[in-house]
């Protein structure tokens, strides 16, 4: 039996230096308007598809359609922060290119070594993440694709973690749920959701009382898994 590890991406294997709110603030600043991330963040509540994981989003799996939908939420957030409607629409239209700026993305230093270490022990790796449609391209540009069997972004599947459909898509043709593990930094999306489907899970880079297994970093995860297989 080949063991399969499902990986969250953002906050687990890599990250963007500026998140959604900070990117919006930077765009506003460049347009001559000062907005604070704490001012923007509440206005984005409910704007993301992963805020509604029970819904079927398969009607938006084409990248441009996904971003058009997301841009409407970004524009509304700008408007709620007091920007004129026309400027809010303009900045929302610029957001996609700004967010995908590769210079703003980085892998955690322990990500590639961890995947290499587990691969040497026979593990197969799949990214399974609530993310933008371009996640496979980002992963490739960051040099991580060579370690991965596939990259599953919720934007391209139409289901968000913790909906069981996205985990099934990640495992399709590779393993049954009870033959897989998942690692991530979100207790609901990366631990409790997979466990409801029979996937064993480890919370990494954080702690939560509901997590059966948790590791402070990825080297600790490698040591933990050595005792499980």
Q: Give the model confidence (pLDDT) of 140-186 as tens digits.
A: 999 999 999 999 999 999 999 999 999 999 999 999 999 999 999 99
Is residue 24 a contact partner of residue 35, using CB atoms and an 8 Å limit? yes
Is the pTM here over 0.75, yes or no? yes
User: At what angle are helices 20-30 and 85-99 packed, to 10 degrees?
Assistant: 120
Same domain for 203 and 110, yes or no, is yes
Same domain for 221 and 110, yes or no, is yes
Same domain for 51 and 111, yes or no, is no
Asked if residue 79 has pLDDT above 70, the reply is: yes
SS3 (DSSP) at 192: helix
Same domain for 142 and 210, yes or no, is yes
| Containing structural domain, residue 161 | 4-15+105-226
Asked if residue 1 has pLDDT above 90, the reply is: no
CATH number at residue 205: 3.40.50.1000
**Confidence at residue 2, expressed as pLDDT on a 0 to 100 scale:** 85
Same domain for 91 and 109, yes or no, is no
Question: Of 5, 47, 2, whose CA–CA distance to 24 is shortest?
Answer: 47
Question: Of 109, 98, 116, 145, whose CA–CA distance to 15 is shortest?
Answer: 109
Asked if residue 201 has pLDDT above 90, the reply is: yes
Q: Are strands 4-7 and 150-153 parallel, antiparallel or unpaired?
A: unpaired
The total domain count for the chain is: 2
Same domain for 132 and 37, yes or no, is no
């Amino acid at each position: 039996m080949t063991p399969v590890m499902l990986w969250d991406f953002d906050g687990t294997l890599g990250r963007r230096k500026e998140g959604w709110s900070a990117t919006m603030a930077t765009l506003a600043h460049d347009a001559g308007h000062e907005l604070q991330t704490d001012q923007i963040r509440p206005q984005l509540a409910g704007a993301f598809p992963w805020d509604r994981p029970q819904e079927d989003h398969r009607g938006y799996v084409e990248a441009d359609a996904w971003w058009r939908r997301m841009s409407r939420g970004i524009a509304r957030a700008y408007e709620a922060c007091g920007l004129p409607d026309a400027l809010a629409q303009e900045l929302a239209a610029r957001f996609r290119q700004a967010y995908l700026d590769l210079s703003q993305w980085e892998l955690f230093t322990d990500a590639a070594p961890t995947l290499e270490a587990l691969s040497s022990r026979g593990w197969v790796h799949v990214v399974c993440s609530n993310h933008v449609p371009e996640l496979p391209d980002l992963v490739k540009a960051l040099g991580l694709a060579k370690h991965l069997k596939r990259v599953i972004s919720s934007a391209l599947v139409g289901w968000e973690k913790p909906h069981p459909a996205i985990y099934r898509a990640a495992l399709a043709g590779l393993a049954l749920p009870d033959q897989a593990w998942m690692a991530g930094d979100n207790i609901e999306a990366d631990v409790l959701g997979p466990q409801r489907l029979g996937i064993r899970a480890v919370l990494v880079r954080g702690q939560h009382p509901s997590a059966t297994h948790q590791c402070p970093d990825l080297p600790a995860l490698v040591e933990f898994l050595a005792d499980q297989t």
